[in-house]
Structure 1
């Protein structure tokens, strides 16, 4: 009898959704900003967002506040929430931080000479190439983030990853622009291949240099795009 009761309880149990409506709305808004569906400087009107997203004003407000903490939304006294505009100077700082920390992590991985590290990075690199091939730009962003999470994790650079991870949304905002430029689908993975090859060979300085060169290349592209956007 108890077994029957347990079966009935399992049948009636309501499974909690993997993601809440707020989390799904947050993802949609991030994707829309990355895809420039909402352009830098564009005003974000709560009533319009409620209608377009099909969610309550409470959720929209919570999501906008969260996006503000991530640096994707700014609130102006006279206009309210707008899509934040990353300046060329701000982008340069982000890339400078990335270059130094990713170089350190790459060198540490190379010095460890761990085959599991190389194998994990190869999986990430394949995912990046596959996403590019399918023209799945959100997939490229996700796989690239995983590549660097793997790099820092296997290097035991948790504090450094914490710093980079705190900038991940802003990094992906910039990356969403650079990955669409001509030949980036070839040059980007090729530069990352050099990082992995140096790690496999146990060449710490080469891994450091390859990581910094990859970031430097992305930074140059971002600088050009942002300067063109701002008419500089």
Structure 2
């Protein structure tokens, strides 16, 4: 008898667990922008070897969450206005096209699922659970992109997920943002429900442009660290 070709799913490795812990710690503001990341201290906090810590730091650098400075070593990457502007520009383009495609193809089941996502986002804002807001917002967009059959575009968005979530951590803590987010996402959903591709595209782009304005103001005023402390 030939051996089975079934691929056994491996257990999560120590490196993957450490990576998840460090990524979450940065997004939840345990480590703030500009904080030095000392290998020896991280080994003790994470309970892993220096080799694992180095691998994790290299991976987080590829995600844009960490940067290495000459003669200083790794630090939590500092968000700058130019990088943020580029990320929002990419988001506006991709999310606008995905919303339009989704409006053209969505059935009642997908509309219901998107509506449930927004309801959960509202609840998370009410509970001030910003971690859940980030996860649920990502889930909403994943369903919108896949519903619009924009698979490659979603892969591009996923490659920017860590940096997008850093910006979300900054903006969702701003005053009254919860109410605004839900209203803006409801506008996107209304256009999708009506199969109004043009309207969905405009609503999606307007949402990104609104949050880009908020981020621009906060970064320009040097409020990043303060906002992150509130988000945590």
C-alpha displacement of 1:28: 1.8
Give how far 1:88 is off. Answer: 0.3
- Give 5+ residue unaligned stretches, structure 2: 1-8, 225-232
Distance 1:34 1:117 in 2: 29
Report the CA distance shift for 1:16/1:90 in structure 2 as closer, same or farther (over 3 A). closer
Q: Which residue of structure 2 aligns with residue 174 of structure 1?
A: 167
Ranges of 4+ aligned residues in structure 1 off by more than 6 Å? none
Which shows bigger deviation, 20-29 or 192-201? 20-29
- TM-score scaled by structure 2? 0.88
Higher relative CO (CA 8 A, sep ≥ 6), structure 1 or 2?
Answer: 2
* Cα 1:20–1:136 shift into 2, 3 Å: farther
- In the alignment, the residues of structure 1 paired with residue 142 and residue 104 of structure 2 have an alpha-carbon distance, to the nearest angstrom, of 18
CA distance in 2, matches of 1:230, 1:106: 31
Partner in structure 2 of residue 135 of structure 1: 128
What do you get for the CA RMSD once the two structures are aligned? Answer: 1.7
Deviations 1:69-89 (A, max 9, x none): 100001122111111112101
| Pairs aligned (count) | 216
Give the SS at the match of 1:153: helix
Matched, 1:153 2:130: no
Q: What is aligned with 2:4?
A: none
**1:32-75 deviation digits (Å, cap 9, x = unpaired):** 21222212122110001111222221221111111001000011
Q: Take 2:73 and 2:215, find their aligned partners in 1: how far apart are those partners?
A: 27
1:197 aligns with 2:190: yes
Question: Which of 42, 46, 61 matches 2:39?
Answer: 46
Q: Which deviates more from structure 2 when the two are superposed, residues 129-138 or residues 87-96?
A: 129-138
**Residues 107-155 of structure 1, C-alpha deviation per residue, up to 9 Å, x if partnerless?**
1111124212212211221221222222221111111111111110010
Q: Distance in 2 between matches of 1:58 and 1:21?
A: 11
1:78 is matched with which residue? Answer: 71
Match in the other structure for 2:85: 92
Counterparts of 2:24 and 2:218 in 1: how far apart (Å)? 19
In our comparison, the structure showing a higher alpha carbon Rg is: 1
Determine the structure 1 residue equivalent to 2:200: 207
1:81 is paired with a residue whose SS is strand
1:61 aligns with 2:54: yes
